[in-house]
Amino acid sequence: MLLHSTLITFALGISLLKTSTASPSQNVQKWDPNACAVVVCGPAQNGLPGRDGRDGKEGPKGEKGSQGLKGSQGPPGKMGPAGLVGGKGSPGEKGTKGDSGDRGSSSLTSCMLQISLCFLVIMFPNGRIVGEKIFMTSGYEGNFDSLKQRCSQAGGQLASPRNAAENAAIQQIVVLYNKSVFLGINDIQTEGRFKYLNGENIVYSNWQTGEPNNDKGIEDCVEVYSSGKWNDKSCGDKRLIVCEF
């Protein structure tokens, strides 16, 4: 900028000097308004950016780009209406055999047993019920082996009391018929060791005083008196039959 001012001052000085030194006889030259003064300037500087131009016309449609990456799954939509009921399918293959179920209630078994016992009492009114057992007689008399066989054929066994209540029920039948009965008890296998028919040692007894005495060495069976007391007796004798079910 300083150089630019110096050059202008210098040019003006030359012009004035020329005018002042001219002689009066010389024609004074006039200033030509169309004349262009030569001014030496420094290099030009860039101006400020202009305003944005108007939008041009829309260009041609570009080619289809490549497929982008798969986006994340969107939220589930609303549940649609129920479809039609499908047809019945074909039967599947037979499954394997399942495990055995739990044992049924003992109360049900007891109830069924009571019904059976009550039926027997109705059919044989001279029977006696004690707990889950029923004692009854048909009035038949025979030796030990024949009585045992008859009770077995009827689905029971020769009466074998295991407590005082069962012995009392048998005693009532003895009193009713006024005949002694054989029990399902004996010491045939081992003398003096009385057992039930299944080979188990007896758990209850009601011997008459002085019994068992195995009189003459042949008394291996047991009879019941009207008093309810027991006596060992020969198995070949005949006594009233009383079976238990």
pLDDT value of residue 206: 98
Residue with tokens 């038949």: 140
Helices (H), the chain: 2-20, 106-123, 144-153, 164-177
Residues 154, 160, 163, 165, Cα dihedral to 10°: 50
pLDDT value of residue 42: 53
Picking from 14-28, 118-132, 217-231, which range would have the lowest pLDDT averaged per residue? 14-28
pLDDT tens track for 2-31: 444 544 444 444 444 344 444 444 444 444
pLDDT tens track for 39-71: 445 565 677 777 777 877 887 887 887 887 887
Domains of the chain and CATH, by start: 131-244 (3.10.100.10)
pTM above 0.75, yes or no: no
